[in-house]
Chain A
Amino acid sequence: MLGPALSTVFFLLVIPVCFIVVYSFWLRAPTGADIPAFQFGNYAKFFEDFFYPSILIRTIRVSLETVFLCLVMGYIPAYFFYRSRTRFKSLLLLLIMLPFWISFIIRTMSWINILGDTGLINYILLQAGLLSKPVGMLYNEGSVLMGLIQYLLPFMILNIYVSLEGIDKSLVEAARSMGCTEWQAFKEVTLPLSLPGVSAGSLLVFVLTAGTYLPPMILGGPGNEMIANLIFNRVIGTLDWPFGSAISVILLSLLVMIVWTYNRYLGINQIFKSLQ
């Protein structure tokens, strides 16, 4: 019964990923042909000067920024869902998941409608007389972050919400009855108990951001290229398969290291729990 699923993943994922590793040691002839070899030239090229590592560092920085912003923007709504007694709770939860169903490229592209020179924000500010000419808000790290947050925030909110829902409510009541204020009870009981969701959400958001291609491509400028864009340009653009493979291996090892460390100390299952 497991056969079809296992062979699908084995032949279409495990073996192809091994191919990337093998290819990353190959040479590229000046004619463009790939020559089987075992050498570390592609990796040496990556770390040769500061250009490529700076893209890697930028990828990590933007991922951390996205995690931080998703936490700041996501914790309070998750807490709202947990505490709220409104009849519309399930509808509200469904609504926050709705963007997840709506075309990623349309949602990303639409930030141009909002942030562009002729977009919504500039239009409103111009009409209100607060500006005399449009402010450029697109094609920088800020606009890339907008796209990323809009894509990843539901994952963060859901992870935190799932772990908040799992808290035994009598613990909070106990804290309150022993004289804690609402805020103290939150700080001493609820917040620490919700940390598994916070960390699971952060890991998921980090990993998904680090491999992201579309938002930097559509909303970013030339200086906002991330590692996935680099891979795409090397493989599809310049057809430099060995070098593209080497960059893929670098990205993959970074993520595997992070996920492995996380799993070692915190356990990975929390993440899949929230996705259900």
Chain B
Amino acid sequence: MPKITGWSLIRAYTILIYVFMFAPIAVVIVLSFNPEQFGCFPMKGFSLRWFVKLAQNESILYAFKNSLILGSLTALISTSIGILAAMAFVRYEFPGKNTLNTLLLSPIMIPEVILGVALLLFIRWLQQPKSFMLLLIGHVVLTLPYVLLIVQARLVGIKKEYEEAAQTLGAGPFHTFKEVTLPLLMPAILAGMLFSFTISFDDITATLFWATAQNQTVPVKIFGMLRTSVSPEINALGTVMIIMTIATPLLAAFMIRKLSRS
């Protein structure tokens, strides 16, 4: 019997860890339906009041639009750059390959505060104002390593022979990429775009350095709202963001399945 007891302890412990990880998320969702003026317990019924208020809040809607544009552009740029670099790393041999790869992955290990200060100093030296452009290039730097990791992992799994076969049959390098490599890479590309979109959409620390009052993203807006207190409106906004982050990967999985079927 001791084996079973040990295993059930392990299982109970794991369940507790899940509770710990999901408690803050569950509480946000539950409280966002509380009609009370203050975002706290007890629940006094069920209402969509704060969601309605949210939909009427001009500055939040503006931040949302800004975040969506920023996230989409970041995803496009960083995935395009990432694919090229991943191709070079996986398909070609050249001196200093490992060092360069580590250099490109290094933003993962550098604190965002440092990235934030560094880019801001650079912009200051160039005598440029903080702008949407700064947010965009900053987010590309933040997301590039993740795209690189995802696309590289997938590319290693695609046999070189497919490309070589196409080339033997007379396809040029560009044609080969378009007709053979790209379709095979599609799941990784979508995953990379999704990942960079999410990171950009959620990023707070570095973005706080780069954002201005005119160029707020949703997390920066929430950060500002938190200065006063946790209002039910923030919980409602949190619920919207949680639903979005769960829905987007599901949508992507659906799209990948559809693409691979056609």
Contacts and interface: CB of A to CB of B under 8 A. Distances in A.
B168 interface: no
B113 A232 contact: yes
A111 B39 CA distance: 12
A55 interface: no
A83 B10 CA distance: 10
B87 interface: yes
Contacts of B234: 109
Chain A facing B: main interface SS = helix
A113 B242 contact: no
A15 B204 contact: no
B245 A102 contact: yes
A39 interface: no
A1 B87 contact: yes
A255 interface: yes
A16 B28 contact: no
A15 B122 contact: yes
Given A76-B14, A113-B24, A1 B241 contact: no
Interface size class of B (residues with CB under 8 A): 35 or more
A182 B122 contact: no
Interface string B83-109: 011011100100000001011111111
Interface in A62-82: 73-74, 76-77, 79-80
Interface stretch (A45-53, A165-173, A189-197, A243-251): A243-251
A119 interface: yes
Chain B facing A: main interface SS = helix
Given A20-B117, A153-B21, A210-B111, A112 B88 contact: no
Contacts of A275: 108, 146, 149
B13 A5 contact: no
Interface string B127-153: 000000000011011001010111011
Interface size class of A (residues with CB under 8 A): 35 or more
A236 B24 CA distance: 30
Contacts of A107: 24-25
B128 to A, nearest CB: 13
A77 to B, nearest CB: 4
Nearest to B206: A213
Nearest to B80: A4
B146 to A, nearest CB: 8
B204 A272 contact: no
A244 B118 CA distance: 11
A211 B25 contact: no
A116 B27 CA distance: 12
B35 interface: no
A255 B108 CA distance: 13
A95 interface: yes
A106 B242 contact: yes
Contact of A76 (B10, B119, B204, B219): B10
Interface string A211-239: 11110001000000000100110011000
Contacts of A153: 17, 21
A80 B25 contact: no
Contacts of A182: 3, 6
A95 B103 CA distance: 31
B245 A103 contact: yes
Contacts of B116: 232
Contacts of B138: 12
Contacts of B202: 102-105
B114 A276 contact: no
B125 interface: yes
Q: Which of A103, A150, A154, A272 has the most CB of B within 10 A?
A: A103
Interface in B22-51: 22-25, 27-28, 31, 38-42
A252 interface: yes
B110 interface: yes
Given A218-B226, A235-B120, A248-B113, A110 B149 contact: no
B256 to A, nearest CB: 15
Contacts of B105: 272
6 cross-chain pairs, A with B, having the tightest CB-CB distances, nearest first:
A211-B111, A16-B118, A110-B24, A5-B85, A118-B40, A123-B41
17 contacts: A8-B137, A8-B140, A16-B122, A99-B22, A103-B201, A103-B202, A103-B241, A109-B230, A114-B24, A153-B21, A154-B21, A213-B205, A213-B208, A236-B208, A236-B209, A245-B117, A248-B117
